[in-house]
Amino acid sequence: MKMQPSKHSSVIPFWRDVRVLRVIAQVIFVIVILLFGLTLCNNLTRGLSKFTTFSFDFLNGTSSLPLSETMIQYDPHDPMYRAYIVGLLNTLRVIVVGIVLASILGLIGGVARLSSNWLISKIAAVYVEIFVDTPLLIQLYFWYIAGVLQMPRVRDAIAMPGNIFLSNRGLVVPWYDPNESFGTWLLVIGAALVVAVVAFALLGKLRAGTLVRDGRALWSPIIFLAIVVVGAIALNPFTVSIPELKGFNFEGGINLSGQYVSITLGLILYTGAFITEIVRAGIQSVSKGLNEASRALGLSYFQTLRLVTVPIALRVIIPPLTNQFLNLAKNSSLASAVAYPDLYFVSGGIYNMTGQTIPVITMMMGTYLLLSLTIAVIMNALNARFKLVER
């Protein structure tokens, strides 16, 4: 039996129509947010009557900010935007070095945590507990106030093996300056790359269709490294510059300032502790049976590691690792606690100089947001490569 809907009931009044209600609810939401924003802006414009326009013109003015550490040529007479770039570069220097070294430390820590050696595993566990359960800022104070600042003056610098000198100005280490034969060596590297690729292809073809392992993944990198190393020995493309105390300062080598060492070391040890736990969990997530099965199939230990354990562990590791990289990037803003002129430090300086509240904050937050986004995009691409292919 079919019910014939009467004409009367088929027309839903608009105040009970879900589609209309949805639109109305959202319009109300927007109006509330706008009203809230307008009230704030109203107060803001009254409070900021000095600065009637929102502009970034102040960036062209003279910065007059003395910055202790610059990667590019910089002088307080330079325009403001140049100071900002100096800060950004300083931040990048911390983030890049920090991410690489923290990952290595975390990898070592994670493996140590699972070591069959009881002592090593316990040391790794204690390291994690201490560094995870105290604030990063306190650790930075420790490295800077109780560490770097208590070091002897440059004149009495502590000499460490390998021509490394430790003083309250930071760390001076030998450095390799490229000399005139460096260009030739670069050509050699290029040639080595070509040879390695050719060897890779040839080895694959030679053994194709046979059951003999071709070993190209092993031999072509060895060929590459051999050519590069022989080239380096023959051409001597670097002049080793060994630091030497001359008067009140060191000459030669490269000087890593105490501020830079404090913030980078602090970030590496702090983030490394978190990554240690991530790596441990990742390795433990690979079931024993999988490893045993692949050994039973006849894969060698390293093949098992390369083809089974690592890809599966990485799938578990990469998402939380991304978070840690993002945290490291964001935590690099604590550099001002050790007086390292990073992005936040320079932004604060620019704000103090110009009093431009909103533009400075917008610029600073926008830049950090961009940094976070870049890291997230790179890591998501990596994640897409390793993640389980779902059907």
Partner 1 sequence: MGVILPHSHTHQLNMATTTDTLKPPVTSVGVIGWLHKNLFSSWLNSILTIVALWLIYNLAVGLVGFVLSANWNVVVANLRLFMIGRYTLEEAWRVEVSAAVVAFLLGASWRLWRGIMQQVGIAIGALFVVLALLPFDMNARLYLAGIVALIAIGFGCALVVRSRRLFLALWVLSPFVIAVLLAGGVAGLPAVAPDLWGGLLLTLALAVVGVGLSFPLGVLLAVGRQSDYPVIKWFSILYIEIVRGVPLITVIFAAQIILPIFLPEGMSIDRVVRAMVAFVLFTAAYLAEIVRGGLQAVGRGQGEAAKAIGLNTFQILWLIILPQALRSVIPAIVGQFISLFKDTSLVAIAGLLDLAGIANSVISQKEFLGLQNEVLVFIAAIYFVGCYAMTYASRRLEKKLGVGER
* Contact status: 54 vs partner 1 (CB under 8 A): no
* Contact status: 7 vs partner 1 (CB under 8 A): no
* Contact status: 111 vs partner 1 (CB under 8 A): no
Candidates 72, 119, 296, 389; binder of partner 1 (CB under 8 A) is 119
* Contact status: 26 vs partner 1 (CB under 8 A): yes
* Contact status: 114 vs partner 1 (CB under 8 A): no
User: Residues 217 to 256: which contact partner 1 by CB under 8 A?
Assistant: none
Is residue 272 within 8 Å of residue 102, measured between CB atoms? yes
C-alpha 98/C-alpha 78 separation (Å) is 29
**Minimum Å distance from CB 219 to partner 1?**
26
Stretch that binds partner 1, among 28-36, 193-201, 233-241, 275-283 (CB under 8 A): 28-36
Query: Exposed, middle or buried, 315 (CB in 10 Å: 0-12/13-18/19+)?
Result: middle
Record the tokens describing residue 302, joined without a space. Answer: 């390293």
Candidates 35, 244, 357, 377; binder of partner 1 (CB under 8 A) is 357
Stretch that binds partner 1, among 54-62, 99-107, 276-284, 334-342 (CB under 8 A): 334-342
Candidates 100, 145, 160, 230; binder of partner 1 (CB under 8 A) is 145
Helices 258-285 and 310-331, axial angle in degrees (round to 10):
150
Q: Who contacts 140 (Cβ-Cβ below 8 Å, separation ≥6)?
A: 262, 263, 266, 334, 337, 338
**Minimum Å distance from CB 147 to partner 1?**
10
**Minimum Å distance from CB 201 to partner 1?**
37
Binding site residues, partner 1, CB under 8 A = 22, 25-26, 29-30, 33, 40, 43-44, 46-48, 115-120, 123, 129-130, 132-139, 141-142, 145-146, 150, 326, 330-334, 336-337, 344, 348, 351, 357-358, 361, 364-365, 368-369, 372-373
